[in-house]
């Protein structure tokens, strides 16, 4: 008798929003290596297609801040295998980097519309489909800034704190239907997005990028380094697969020990 490997995603369909770069791209690769059928979504079709071609997955263009596009994306995705087993709710952006007294409120609201409202659009569709099929795993991409405030990042912090509360609420709602809902909280993750944030902070504070990187990101971590996107992807796989079959309403730090 062959025992099923609980770390595998054989026969399962996984949607990865924000799948064209960074954590989303890395997680799409991790899920595909675990034998999932992966749908990568995002606003820019070209990088999505590059990822999908590499992993043998599917591409659907979708701006998560547009509810009609989200509904259409889920409707298209569910046609591939007849079900949706995993959602990595990852699409988002860093938002404005400025003191509260000076922040551009139009940029602040744009960040909330993508990171929070867009995430809710995806959660609503996933809840309908997974609730009806009585199984599924939802992974919300929060942040270390979802449990502690950070200067000059009020919009991002607000959106990520809210995702933690939504995760706990949905876990209670969907648990009786066999659907699990958990959240990941990455710390400082290396890549182009972090490079842009460092440049903005350096310009705003008039300090060298290297100094901000060392004092605020790497030296304050117990492991004295950045988190890689692949490491976040492997944590997402844990929540997606049956290794975590009894875990819901949970939140996991992936931060190299930034206590």
Catalytic residue ranges: 156
Write phi, then psi, for 88 (nearest 5 degrees): -95, 105
What whole-number distance in Å separates Cα of residue 7 and Cα of residue 210?
38
What whole-number distance in Å separates Cα of residue 215 and Cα of residue 46?
36
What whole-number distance in Å separates Cα of residue 78 and Cα of residue 120?
18
What whole-number distance in Å separates Cα of residue 215 and Cα of residue 59?
39
Residue 13: CA atoms inside 13 Å, Cβ hemisphere, count? 17
Write phi, then psi, for 17 (nearest 5 degrees): -85, 150
Residue 39 has a CB neighbour count (10 Å cut-off) of 30
Residue 132 has a CB neighbour count (10 Å cut-off) of 11
Where helices occur in the chain by DSSP H, the ranges are: 22-33, 45-55, 67-81, 105-112, 119-133, 154-174, 192-205, 209-213, 229-240
Q: Compute the chain's Rg from CA coordinates.
A: 18
Closest CA to 232 of 183, 169, 193: 183
- Residue 255, classed as helix, strand or coil, is coil
What whole-number distance in Å separates Cα of residue 149 and Cα of residue 158?
9
């Amino acid at each position: 008798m062959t025992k099923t490997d609980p770390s595998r995603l054989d026969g399962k369909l996984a949607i990865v929003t924000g799948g064209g770069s960074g954590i989303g791209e890395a997680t799409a690769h991790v899920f595909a290596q675990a034998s999932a059928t992966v749908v990568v979504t995002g606003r820019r079709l070209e990088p999505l297609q590059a990822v999908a071609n590499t992993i043998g997955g599917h591409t659907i263009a979708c701006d998560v801040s547009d509810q009609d596009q989200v509904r259409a994306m889920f409707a298209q995705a569910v046609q591939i295998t007849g079900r949706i087993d995993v959602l990595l709710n990852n699409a988002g952006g860093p938002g404005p980097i400025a003191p509260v007294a000076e922040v551009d409120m139009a940029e602040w609201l744009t960040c909330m519309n993508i990171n929070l409202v867009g995430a809710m659009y995806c959660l609503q569709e996933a809840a309908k489909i997974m609730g009806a099929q009585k199984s599924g795993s939802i992974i919300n991409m929060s942040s270390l800034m979802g449990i502690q405030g950070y200067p000059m990042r009020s919009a991002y912090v607000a959106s990520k704190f809210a995702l933690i509360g939504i995760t706990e609420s949905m876990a209670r709602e969907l648990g009786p239907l066999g659907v699990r809902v958990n959240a990941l909280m990455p710390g400082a993750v290396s890549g182009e997005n972090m490079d842009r944030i460092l440049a903005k902070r350096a310009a705003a504070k008039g300090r060298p990028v290297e100094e901000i990187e060392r004092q605020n990101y790497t030296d304050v971590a117990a492991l004295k380094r950045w988190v890689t996107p692949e490491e976040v992807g492997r944590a997402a796989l844990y929540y997606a697969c049956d290794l975590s079959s009894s875990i819901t309403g949970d939140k996991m730090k992936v931060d190299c020990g930034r206590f």
